[in-house]
Amino acid sequence: MTRAPVDDYLRHLTVERGLAQNSISSYRRDLTIYADWLAMRGIAGPVAVTEQDLGDFVRFLGAERVPTLATSSIARVLSAVRGFHRFLAEEGLVPADVSRELRPPKLPMRLPKAIPVDDVEALIAAAGGEELTDVRDSALLELLYATGARVSEAVSLNVDDLVDREVVRLFGKGGKQRIVPLGSYARRAIDAYLVRARPVLSTRGSATPALFLGVRGKRMSRQAAWEAIRDAAETAGLATSVSPHTLRHSFATHLLEGGADVRVVQELLGHSSVATTQIYTLVTADTLREMYTAAHPRAR
């Protein structure tokens, strides 16, 4: 299959639907898997694809492809393929959408992994220090936990996105904007970073509006943010695996445990559907159930 139909679809996702570049890259990788499989089978293009071919492709992903894909990855690839064929049908480039009956494998429900408040405090404390990068990392971790930001949202922040000392402007998936409050701990950490570290880091590179800077004065990368959190977790001696998303999950879980309305948490996280946010209510319900079982004399 030529790359032209795929390029047309990716252009549609970029221009018409406003997907972020990271999402576009993911779609491109998944559709490359599909295009390579069609070429291997000698199928000239999407107009020649049948429902039987798609069934064979599902079996290929599940049992034949090397390296094998996780169930969640197979579901993601098939979602991209469905969207691609639906686009071609809507544009009149193929006579019908042969993927309309395509069903991805059912995914087990995975509850978000949050860590206790004490572990969050230990993690942030472990990032502290007097080095420029320590001051920066402390501000980064405080912001991630204070706002529930995705790591991509945090490293994409510009200084001007600090609307004032109490709120920050985040840009989520598809460029969707939201305003999130900053707690007092995060405000103090960011103020310290802006006064003590960022001015020095900024002299090491060309002028940039980025809030968080790397050691060479350029915008901090997602990988550098991951490493900062991993190093802090190791220093804190946390037994569980910690990632930037762990802080996002902890932010949501701790808010709900504290009595926040799920609709408010939805807005703060930037979820388009409250159903996504409601997963966190299952986490807090599990916690309550465990506490009840341990504490109530007639629970067991």
Any idea which residues carry the catalytic annotation? 150, 173, 245, 248, 271, 280
Q: In this structure, what are the phi and psi dihedrals at residue 169, rounded to the nearest 5 degrees?
A: -100, 120
Six token digits for residue 285:
């319900």
| Integer angstrom CA distances of residue 207 from 50, 70, 202, 217 | 53, 42, 7, 8
**Residues composing the chain:** 300
> SS3 for 158?
strand
Q: Are 89 and 96 spatial neighbours (Cβ–Cβ below 8 Å)?
A: yes
* Residue given tokens 């405090």 in the structure block: 121
Q: Report how far apart, in Å, the C-alpha atoms of 23 and of each of 13, 41, 44, 174, 260 are.
A: 9, 27, 27, 9, 30
What span, in angstroms and rounded, lies between the C-alpha atoms of 298 and 203?
A: 65
- 23 three-state secondary structure: helix
Q: Is the N-terminal amide bond of 108 cis, ω within 30° of 0? A: no
| Backbone φ, ψ for residue 99 (5° rounding) | -95, 5
DSSP E strands: which ranges in the chain? 167-171, 177-181
